[in-house]
């Protein structure tokens, strides 16, 4: 479902559509309301695994010291007017997030993670559209996790755009930025494979 109108859609338009379709999730991308894919169990398990790992190791600060992180799933984030995204998982350094009850949250995340969905248009949104949106908002780190390919890709923002900082397959043990203080086996961030 894509809501097109003669004028750019607004946050209020998204809320109205959400009220009409409470079982659906929407994003506002460049003034157009776009429905997010309905997640599969594999997608949901992967999303939960990433959020749980981040929270377990970094909520109170990384090992060895430092400030902690706040993590959220499916949080509405306004990157700029007309752009409200709902990352599968997002994280903010505690000192940058004084208020947590705003919707949409108007603090750009320090890290986002999208779990690849199965549909081609959803994959394109995560691998092209969102890469561009997050780069324009200067989100420092963007992860994509592909449950089907059983892989992780980490993008690091630079003045020239995103550069691939790390890739890993399920059996790889990595230290993915910005959480390089802790080793993680990529498979531990993924839903279990079907037996």
Length reported for the chain: 195
pLDDT tens by residue, 113-168? 999 887 666 777 778 888 899 999 999 999 999 988 999 999 999 999 999 999 99
Residue spans of the domains in the chain: they are 37-189
Mean pLDDT, rounded, for 16-26: 90
| CA-to-CA separations, 124 to 11, 30, 120, 156, in angstroms, rounded | 23, 16, 6, 19
Please list the alpha-helical segments (H only) found in 117-180: 120-124, 130-136
CATH class, range 37-189: alpha beta
pTM: 0.86
What local confidence, expressed as pLDDT, does residue 43 receive?
A: 86
pLDDT tens by residue, 29-56? 888 998 887 778 888 899 999 999 999 9
Nearest to 142 by CA among 180, 89, 82, 72: 89
Split at pLDDT 50, 70, 90, the class of 77 is very high
H or E segment to which residue 138 belongs: none
Give percent of the chain with pLDDT exceeding 90.
59
Mean pLDDT, rounded, for 87-112: 89
């Amino acid at each position: 479902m894509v809501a097109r109108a003669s004028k750019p859609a607004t946050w209020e338009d998204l809320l109205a559509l959400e009220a009409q379709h409470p079982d659906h999730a929407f994003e506002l991308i460049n003034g157009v309301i776009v429905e997010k894919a309905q997640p599969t169990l594999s997608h949901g398990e992967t999303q939960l695994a990433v959020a749980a790992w981040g929270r377990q190791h970094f909520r109170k600060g990384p090992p060895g010291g430092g400030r902690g992180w706040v993590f959220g799933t499916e949080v509405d984030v306004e990157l700029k007017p007309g752009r409200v995204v709902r990352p599968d998982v997002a994280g903010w350094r505690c000192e940058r997030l004084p208020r947590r009850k705003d919707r949409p949250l108007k603090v750009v995340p320090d890290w986002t993670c999208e779990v690849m969905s199965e549909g081609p248009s959803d994959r394109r949104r995560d691998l092209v559209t969102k890469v561009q949106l997050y780069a324009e908002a200067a989100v420092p780190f963007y992860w994509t996790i592909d449950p089907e390919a059983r892989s992780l890709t980490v993008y690091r923002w630079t003045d020239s755009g995103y550069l691939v900082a790390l890739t890993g397959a399920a059996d790889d043990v990595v230290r993915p930025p910005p959480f390089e203080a802790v080793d993680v086996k990529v498979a531990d961030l993924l839903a279990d494979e079907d037996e």
